[in-house]
Structure 1
Amino acid sequence: MRQVTATGQSVEDALSSALEQLETTKEFVDIHVIDQGKKGFLGVFGARPAIVKVTVTLDPIDKAVTFLKEVTSKMGLDVNVEVTRNGNDIAFNLAGEKLGLLIGKRGQTLNSLQYLAHLVANRYSDKYLSVSVDAENYRERRKETIEVLATRLAEKAIHTKKDVTLEPMPSFERKIIHNALYNNKHVHTKSIGYEPKRHIIISPKINN
């Protein structure tokens, strides 16, 4: 739970300060007034600031689930969100009908949802959370496709003795290629460029 203790000339001022520090709003917090404060004589003598302790009560995972349901609902989809947690790794699996729209070309829409869900969850968490979003087992199918692609392009690099440049990919997909070719003795891989255009180059090893 994220929590701050804030002061102000009044309880409302102290609360506003706490909400600003936590970057949230009243509906997502628990408010405990430690001291109502005191204006004092002429607003100076004997004055005492108000003190409040404010705690974020909304679970970051619940917030991410709410976000995913709201977005998919606006897309005209009725989606159930299944959550699996392993330590700080959070997996959201979307189940429903017509999820092709949600996945998008080469998973671009799904990747965007994953990025936004990651931002939402971590905004409300005091620990870093690694977030993945999947639908219709797309991630596993995509992983298999990328591994086949990596093998095929590695063979091309070996045959032509020239570098093979892949199109830009998100970091987790680039990692699949690096891992797939890690033990290949005839090529090596490297990522170059900057997001969102960072991409992989597969190069034949000179000794081969």
Structure 2
Amino acid sequence: MINEYIEEVGKDIEEATKRALEIMNAVRDQVLIEIIDDKKEENEDPEVRIRVTPVDLRKRNAEEFINKIIESFKIKAEIVWEEKDDIPIMRLYGDEMGIIIGNKGKTLEALQILMSIIANKNSLVKGKIILDIEDYRKRKGKALEQLSETMAERAVETGEDVILEPMTASERKVIHNFLSKNNEVITMSTGEEPERRIVITPVRKYDK
């Protein structure tokens, strides 16, 4: 992620800006420009020193994309931004949100991929950005944790592998992370998308 500023000088702000943008391979609306020194004293050549900082355009880009999606479905939604571990999270709230969540969250996952690509496209500051609709991911995450806990208990009790239903990469990640704290089982993903799934194996199976 590019997030540090650079400083550049020129005989005027236009020249200093041009130099900085060339160095950063950027255009004007991708950066914030501050004048930090404007030398106009007699007997000295005029000189302007500027500080140029990349602007994070991901939120703006993401909102433009999502607003077009909302309009195309002829529904109304409120956009609320949060941050967790420095990752921007866009949350949508409104009526009839099920249509853009889709069956088992498949539409949401597709929108997540497209939004991430578009959000990062012309932003110098790049990184992960998350879309959640009506707290679906929160609710789904808790349900997956409960499922993984139950299935881990079954694996430990029976001493046999428990194979879960196919899941998306983000769903599998929730289970892997949750069960990584359980020292009685190990997890692994197997198969090819879209049939990739998690296998929960009791540790004592390897002690036989």
Measured in 1, the distance between the counterparts of 2:74 and 2:170 equals: 28
One-letter code aligned to 1:118: S
Q: What residue number does 1:178 align with? A: 176
Structure 2 gaps of 5+ residues are 3-17, 19-24, 31-56
Q: What residue number does 1:21 align with? A: none
Q: What residue number does 2:94 align with? A: 96
Judged with a 3 Å threshold, the aligned counterparts in structure 2 of structure 1 residues 56 and 86 are, in CA distance, closer, same or farther, namely farther
Q: What residue number does 1:204 align with? A: 202
2:122 to 124, 138, 148: 124
Measured in 2, the distance between the counterparts of 1:127 and 1:88 equals: 12
Judged with a 3 Å threshold, the aligned counterparts in structure 2 of structure 1 residues 198 and 57 are, in CA distance, closer, same or farther, namely farther
Judged with a 3 Å threshold, the aligned counterparts in structure 2 of structure 1 residues 56 and 102 are, in CA distance, closer, same or farther, namely farther
- The alignment partner of 1:57 has SS state of helix
Q: Is the 8 A contact 2:58 2:126 kept in 1?
A: no
**Offset of 1:140 from its aligned partner?**
1.3
> CA RMSD, aligned part only?
2.8
One-letter code aligned to 1:82: V
Measured in 2, the distance between the counterparts of 1:188 and 1:170 equals: 19
Judged with a 3 Å threshold, the aligned counterparts in structure 2 of structure 1 residues 204 and 70 are, in CA distance, closer, same or farther, namely same
- The alignment partner of 2:74 has SS state of coil
Q: What residue number does 2:61 align with? A: 63
Q: What residue number does 1:135 align with? A: 133
Measured in 1, the distance between the counterparts of 2:131 and 2:166 equals: 20
One-letter code aligned to 2:145: E
Measured in 1, the distance between the counterparts of 2:165 and 2:28 equals: 42
Provide the TM-score with structure 2 as the length reference.
0.67
Q: For each residue in 1:38-93, what CA deviation from the matched residue of structure 2 results, as whole angstroms up to 9, or x when unmatched?
A: xxxxxxxxxxxxxxx86162623211101011112212211222223467511101
Measured in 2, the distance between the counterparts of 1:138 and 1:79 equals: 15
**Offset of 1:156 from its aligned partner?**
2.2
Provide the TM-score with structure 1 as the length reference.
0.67
Q: What residue number does 1:84 align with? A: 82
Measured in 2, the distance between the counterparts of 1:80 and 1:99 equals: 11
Q: Across the two proteins, how many residue pairs are aligned to each other?
A: 161
1:110 to 108, 111, 119: 108
- The alignment partner of 2:198 has SS state of strand
Judged with a 3 Å threshold, the aligned counterparts in structure 2 of structure 1 residues 79 and 196 are, in CA distance, closer, same or farther, namely same
Q: For each residue in 1:15-34, what CA deviation from the matched residue of structure 2 results, as whole angstroms up to 9, or x when unmatched?
A: xxxxxxxxxxxxxxxxxxx7
One-letter code aligned to 1:55: V
Higher relative contact order (CA 8 A, sep 6+): 2
Q: For each residue in 1:99-129, what CA deviation from the matched residue of structure 2 results, as whole angstroms up to 9, or x when unmatched?
A: 1222222222112111111111111222332
Q: Percent identity?
A: 32
- The alignment partner of 1:141 has SS state of helix
Judged with a 3 Å threshold, the aligned counterparts in structure 2 of structure 1 residues 56 and 204 are, in CA distance, closer, same or farther, namely farther
